[in-house]
Structure 1
């Protein structure tokens, strides 16, 4: 669970992708009152400005491809996206989902709602980043455990020893080489693969 503070918004770069019409001006006015560092971009460009944290984008069917391309070409971590819509239908909903929006603001832009949408969207974005990082760590842990199990099996077969003894051998070799036991397991697997391939060619 993340704790997002109001002052955090003032440290973020907010890009508004919207024409400078009445709604566009209302967006900029509200963001300036909140204290965000804001820049208006229209029409959608090939890529977002470097360091973009939040994107508030008007969803227009005639610009949907350009907007999607603009967001996909971000080199850093994906920004928090808020969508601005003027009506609801299946096609609009699909566009919003494809943009990966964390919040939706309806037109006409009103004074109430911008701040809470920004805070909720950014908080949910931070939670999604944390979950993604946790998932990557878990995947790496699973792979490491599988490698250790495979390396133990190789050592057990080569030295005719028990699983616990094979683990001690693996650990002692890792300590001697000053590498992690996970790295040592990969080295054992690779060496065994090379040996097996060499035997196959004989």
Structure 2
């Protein structure tokens, strides 16, 4: 499925954390012309509120921190020194703007930042989904082995039992497997506690 590409940034909320100079002036003016809602701050501003902004502009010529990993960051660079470029890479800025800032190039930086960040977020969600599926499969295998051992049945029969039971409870087989393992762990803990109590009561 083709990912939707965003090209309209009207109404987006921009946090501009830059020195008060010509670069910031040009940037803010252009962002407002593009329809963004701009909040201006110095590089050391500490009143950033997560979830209240859609894009952040930072100055990569000095050290900066990622204010919100859920928001794309655009780094301004005045000198293409390896140390400054490395800073941008380490903080995973989604796009860059070269100084001196000009009106041309700002839309491109926004376009790349928003869409690159969106792709990163989707890839992260995909990885998390795959991780959950893998964990679910491991739970199913462990539950099958437990049923095989407890009921002395084949792996196919153990899986069939789990499938029937999960359908009866209207939950996924992975969720049912997790319940089996959780109940088993709880039973083992109770058994261990009871054994300890019996041992301590012995004369």
Question: What is the TM-score when the length of structure 2 is the normalising length?
Answer: 0.86
User: 1:11-65 CA deviation, whole Å, 9 max, x = no partner?
Assistant: 311111112211110111111221211111114322523421101112242xx2x
What is the alpha-carbon distance in structure 1 between the residues aligned to residue 4 and residue 167 of structure 2? 41
Partner of 1:5: 6
**Residue of structure 2 in register with 1:126 after alignment:** 118
Q: Identify if the C-alpha distance between structure 1 residues 47 and 153 changes in structure 2 by more than 3 Å, giving closer, same or farther.
A: farther
Alignment RMSD (CA, Å):
1.9
Query: Is the radius of gyration larger for structure 1 or structure 2?
Result: 2
Would you identify which runs of 4 or more consecutive aligned residues in structure 1 move more than 3 Å?
194-202
More helix as a share of residues: 1
Q: Deviations over 1:103-157 (max 9, x none)?
A: 1111111222111111011111100000000000000000001101110110011
State the number of aligned residues: 192
Any unmatched runs of 5+ in structure 1? none
Q: CA deviation at 1:95?
A: 1.6
Please, what TM-score do these two structures have when normalized by structure 1?
Answer: 0.86
Q: How does 1:1-202 map to 2 (within 5 A)?
A: 1-7=2-8, 9-49=9-49, 50-61=51-62, 64=63, 67-68=64-65, 71-72=66-67, 74=68, 78-198=70-190, 202=195
Given the superposition, is the C-alpha separation of residues 2 and 47 from structure 1 closer, same or farther in structure 2, using an over 3 Å criterion? Answer: farther
